[in-house]
Structure 1
Amino acid sequence: MQMTAVPPHFPQGIDTCLIVEDSEFDQLKMGRVVRKSCNSMRIEVANTLKSARRMLERGEPALILLDNNLPDGLGADFALELAKDPKLAGVPVIMVSDWPSPIMWEKAASAGVAYVVNKTEFDPKYVHAVLQKGKSRQMN
């Protein structure tokens, strides 16, 4: 499984999933789930919101998997930030968190997050549903 800390860019024509997660165990688990849903998807990992912002300056991924509790902030606040950015507002986000709180759910809903999923329940059906929705949007 290809996972790098900072890619030179998101290559054109290759769907990329950005995993924003500080736990190496959860990074690998999320990567396996993405591979089960879309084997050809490139996976990139950011350990912090700061590194995720740097990566997003280089291009737009097809999907973002986002933890809520990160060393430098909350994923729910980052999702709101993404929703306000015209370049990134259309990128689907799935929040994958250990303990989704009511405040996190509210922020995620305001940001247009596709799904909020407990880490133990996260599986390929969520990735597949988001990617299928994106493909149908492209066809219309």
Structure 2
Amino acid sequence: MSTPSTVLTIEDQPDIRRLIRMTLEFKGLRVVEAGDAAQGLATARRERPQLILLDVMMPGESGLSLSRTLAADPQLAGIPVVMLSALGQQQDVEAGLGAGARAYLVKPFDPWQLLELVDRLLADPAAAA
């Protein structure tokens, strides 16, 4: 039996983290969580997840800033990042993708849409969503 893929969720809202964890665990994925950017970066370095789900608006460092930090780190740069945000304007999406995210999902999102996106990026980490 193969080891399940690990997905790191960096999100300051516990209810959203819980929804994501339940959705991804339903598919047999291993989920680790962080509540802010600093904890998220430390967790990414420790866990080496196959995918990172990253909230844009968090207290302290923003998800956009953290995404740029991840992209600049040679050991973490290959991990696909999906931005999660209530900000859904075209310029918000472009800012997320410009900060290194492979995909941008607007909250509230459909759990099935999340699963489809996660499956696609885990199957092909270089894929643009």
Structure 1: distance between partners of 2:125 and 2:17: 28
Partner of 2:32: 44
Structure 2 residue matching 1:58: 3-state secondary structure:
helix
Whether the 8 Å contact between 1:115 and 1:126 is mirrored in structure 2 is no
User: Which residue pairs with 2:87 in the alignment?
Assistant: 99
Taking structure 1 as the reference length, what is the TM-score of the superposition?
0.74
Unaligned runs of 5+ in 2: none
Aligned to 1:61: 49
Report 1:1-140 matches (<5 A). Answer: 13-36=3-26, 39-100=27-88, 104-136=92-124
The alpha-carbon distance between structure 1 residues 111 and 26, as it changes in their structure 2 partners (threshold 3 A), is: same
Letter in 1 for 2:80: P
Distance 1:63 1:133, change over 3 A: closer
Could you report, residue by residue, the CA deviation over 1:59-96 in whole angstroms, capped at 9, with x for unpaired residues?
Answer: 31011111111112110111111111121111111111
Cα distance in 1, alignment partners of residues 83 and 45 from structure 2:
21
Quote how far apart the aligned CAs of 1:41 are.
0.8
Whole-angstrom distance in 2 between the partners of 1:137 and 1:76: 19
Aligned residues: 125
TM-superposed CA distance for 1:106, in Å, is 3.1
Aligned-pair distance for 1:55?
A: 0.9
* Cα distance in 1 for residues equivalent to 2:102 and 2:115: 10
Paired residue secondary structure (1:112):
coil
Gaps spanning 5+ residues in structure 1: where? 1-11
